Amino acid sequence: MPLTRHTAAFALITVAALALTACGSGDPAAAPAGAAADKGEVPTTDVVSSVREDGSAEKLLPADVRAAGTLTVAASVSNPPGATYLADGRTLAGTDIDFADAVARKLGLRLTREVASFEAILPALGSGKYDVGTGNFGVTEERRRTIDFVTYINDGQGFAVRDDSELKKVTDLTQLCGLTVGTGAGTTFEVTLEKNRHLCADAGRKPYEVKTYNDQGATWASLQQGRSDVVMSTINGLRYAVRQQTGVRFLNEFKRLDVGFAFKKGTALAPAFQAAVNSLKADGTYDRILKKWGISASAIKASQISPPEIE
């Protein structure tokens, strides 16, 4: 769907010159990823090309994958710091991109990356269309029933509003009663909001309205234009986005989630990916990627395979 002129203006939060748009404790906004990020530009520091193969991790790959030497990756491109386009409109950048590329180097693999919509990736993994998916996929109990994950950061759910909003902090979804909430289609945010809409009716109050968007620039435009009262999205993505706009503010973290590479259920790739992520932690690449994107507070102690959803 083409962007309107107004929507495109707000979508500038996602790239330096071309528009397209992800949790941890602490406040990454207080420590942006260098001067470029401060100016609304996407950081381009190379933190991946020096990564070397890890033989022990590589040996965990299935024999057919080692022989082929390639994997097909579906990437959801939405907002920094997760994944976005650079000013040329073609080059991808973000934490998802850096971690996937770094893991591939550890495993001695080449990636064939295909951009796909967020809501289409998980079903496509089950059909075998892709080997792995990236898109700041949070690990939930519902998703664990059909998808395997290998975690690499901790992110989660949060809220942002216009400066004129009376909301100060959302600790209970009944605080949203009577409001319009903008969020991404097919996300954990949409699921959380729809699952709990009854809370307002149970309390005898007007339910909140949920408006979903496939493009994060459109989500922010809906907030700026008053069609939404509040935005629910990823904590890291919200903190990044509010630094690039005027008249909006980050409210608070609502729920934390582990984030991971996504695979079809029962994949044989998970042990190798887990070993590769932990190898990146050991050689310092992991911390360099997080620092580049200003999300060091989202570090995990060690990669896990499909851990339980964080309560």
pLDDT of residue 40: 56
Q: How far apart are the first and last CA of the chain?
A: 37
Tell me, rounded to whole angstroms, the distance of Cα 43 from its chain centroid: 17
State pLDDT tens for residues 190-201.
999 999 999 999
State pLDDT tens for residues 202-214.
999 999 999 999 8
Please give the chain's pLDDT, 311 residues, in tens: 333 333 333 333 333 322 333 333 223 222 333 323 333 578 999 999 999 999 999 999 999 999 999 999 999 998 889 999 999 999 999 999 999 999 999 999 999 999 999 989 999 999 999 999 999 999 999 999 999 999 999 998 999 999 999 999 999 999 999 999 999 998 889 999 999 999 999 999 999 999 999 888 899 999 999 999 999 999 999 998 998 899 999 999 999 999 999 999 999 999 999 999 999 999 999 999 999 999 999 999 999 999 999 98
CB 282 within 8 A of CB 57: no
Opening angle at CA 256, ends 273 and 131, nearest 5? 25
Structure tokens, 68:
């082929």
3-state secondary structure of 15: coil
3-state secondary structure of 132: strand
Peptide bond into 81 cis (omega under 30): yes
pLDDT of residue 311: 83
Q: What is the CA radius of gyration of the chain?
A: 19
Cα(156)–Cα(298) distance, rounded to whole angstroms?
10
The residues with which 93 forms a beta bridge, in sequence order, are 84
CB 188 within 8 A of CB 140: yes
Q: What's the number of CA atoms in the CB half-sphere (13 Å) around residue 272?
A: 26
pTM, to two decimals: 0.81
